[in-house]
Structure 1
Amino acid sequence: MNNTANALLAVGASPIMAHAKSEIHDMVSIAHSVVINIGTLDEYWAESMIIAAKAAHSLKKPWILDPVGAGATGFRDEILHQLLPYRPTVIRGNASEIIALAKANTIVTKGVDSTAKSDEAINAAQYLVNQHDTIVCISGATDIILDRQQTSFIRNGHHLMTKVTGLGCSATALIGAFAGVTEKYFEATAAAMALMGIAGELAVLESKGPGSLQVNLLDKLYTITEEEFLSHLKYER
């Protein structure tokens, strides 16, 4: 959560992490967007998440779902089953999570790590798009973003990023930040994922390992220039 808040601050967003059921509706009403991440799940937080999704849907605020560990336990799957009817604007997860969320296949989810490649989840993602009228982002070595009209591929990032916990969560949060300032939600998703990948690539050049990467990535999210972004972008639509 701390890493995610720092990533949001680095790109100029204003994060708040709220969980108390008594204030969730008020928080959603003043936020530009909502991110629901089920990574640290318990019964109380789950109720708050459902309240938040319902409020975002009712108030027509964009909301982003990160189905961390989908398929790992029945409890996670049940909470996701309760969240999906509120039509998330964007769903971002790794291939295993997207497949499990769509119930398109039986696959093992190893915590927050993916046991499937992103291109193996395209059919599952398309099912979610059609079923819930959402945008789906499958993160991996290649990030794949789909809606009903188009598919985009982003080939930025570095394998060392998989050794730093919370970077997927940070990517989801960046999508939320970008979706909060434009109604072009597909483009917002692609831009956020590209920014995360490119910042990671550039930060790796200055890093000795995962520890320094974590710090250097935050710095690069803060200092990256338009020229750096455009010259490193690997995007196909």
Structure 2
Amino acid sequence: MLRVNQFQTPFPLIPSPLVHCITNSVTCETVANSVLYIGGKPIMTEDTRDFSDLYEQVGGVLINIGHLSEEKETAMELAVEEAHKHNVPIVVDNVGVSSSRIRKEVANKLLSFEPTVVKGNVSEMRTLCNLASHGKGVDAAEEDQDSSAMKELEEGLLALAKIHLNTCFLATGPSDLVVYQSQIVLLQNGIEALDQFTGTGDVVGALIAALLGSGVDVLPSVLQAVSYFNLCGEEALEIVQNDAKIASIREETLNQLSLLKQNESWQNGIKGDWL
């Protein structure tokens, strides 16, 4: 089992990092508020004229390809270049990469910049590994989540990790698979309802970027961001007491982003194993 006492305690985020998010316009407000709820400071600009000055201040960056355009692709590349120039950690979220050739090309281009963390759902990460994927649009497929498919994905991510030595890979699903160098972790918190409203993956990416921006190491940032959000969902379901009330669970999950961190022992709820 995971030993939670090995982790740095991430909350409250001190110093409060400025997190630059180029993200899905559908979820932009949710992402910005989520960073605020955990003690970070979001900035959502896509105007490349901002970047040279902005990156003197930025602590972490989230690049989300969910709402793609040629202009946004250019902004993403310039943001990554500025981040490298200023040693700012980068999180890339490969939203919808299974749905089109263009998205996969963009994902591979961003991966070539050696980002700190690359994430996506299990179907999206299978696409990144050049494995067969049954994902539709931005959603993962059940066929990609059984034990044999997850083992195949684990091997694919390990192969990528041998090429991209400083990149941590995260595949989200009913269980969340984390591969960093030769380390493999399977996280097991969360509720089904988190897969039934938009923006959950975007929020997790922003939480990772905020933790990285506050100085937390790479693997603990990923493990804690994923687990924290999933535990917020578990707390939300306990309060709502009805897994069919998706909108209520969404609202309460976001509430818990600012509430759960007040419990100093929240990390004791993390479930997972080193593989």
Q: TM-score, normalised by structure 1?
A: 0.94
Match of 1:223 among 259, 264, 275: 259
Residue 98 of structure 2 contacts residue 136 of structure 2 at CA under 8 Å; is this kept in 1?
no
Residue 153 (structure 2) aligns with: 121
Which whole-Å CA distance do the structure 1 matches of 2:51 and 2:153 have between them? Answer: 33
RCO (CA 8 Å, sep 6+): is it higher in 1 or 2?
A: 2
Structure 1 residues 165-193: Cα deviation after superposition (integer angstroms, max 9, x where no partner): 00111011100011111251111110111
Deviations along 1:103-162, whole A, 9 cap, x unmatched?
2x2323211111222724212211221222210111111111111131122111000111
Give 3-state SS (helix, strand or coil) of 1:65's partner: strand
Identity percentage over the alignment? 28
| Aligned twin of 2:82 | 55
Partner of 2:248: 212
Summarize the alignment of residues 128-167 of structure 1 with structure 2, pairs less than 5 Å apart: 128-133=160-165, 134-167=167-200
Shift of 1:236: 2.0
Q: Which amino acid counterpart does residue 211 of structure 1 have in structure 2?
A: A
Offset, 1:24: 2.5
Structure-1 separation of matches of 2:56 and 2:126? 32
Counting matched residue pairs gives 236
1 CA distance for matches of 2:52 and 2:178?
A: 29
TM-score when scaled to structure 2? 0.81
RMSD, matched Cα: 1.6
Deviations 1:50-88 (A, max 9, x none): 111122122221000000011311111121222112101
Q: Contact 1:102/1:124 (CA < 8 Å) preserved in 2?
A: yes
Deviates most, 4-13 or 125-134: 125-134
Q: 4+ runs of 1 displaced by more than 2 Å?
A: 24-29, 225-228
Q: What is the CA deviation profile of residues 37-59 of structure 1, one whole-angstrom value per residue up to 9, with x for unaligned ones?
A: 00011110110001111221222
In structure 1, how many angstroms separate the alpha carbons of the residues matched to 2:216 and 2:252? 31
Q: Which consecutive unaligned segments of at least 5 residues does structure 1 have?
A: none
Tell me the equivalent position of 1:100: 127
Q: Does 1:10 align with 2:37?
A: yes
Partners of 1:14 and 1:125 lie apart in 2 by 31
8 Å Cα contact 1:70/1:109 also seen in 2: no
Higher fraction of helix: 1
CA contact (8 A) 1:29 1:59 kept: yes
Structure 2's unaligned 5+ residue stretches are: 1-27
Of residues 87-96 and 77-86 in structure 1, the stretch that sits farther from structure 2 once superposed is 77-86
**Hey, what's the Cα distance between the residues in 1 that align with 2:85 and 2:236?**
40
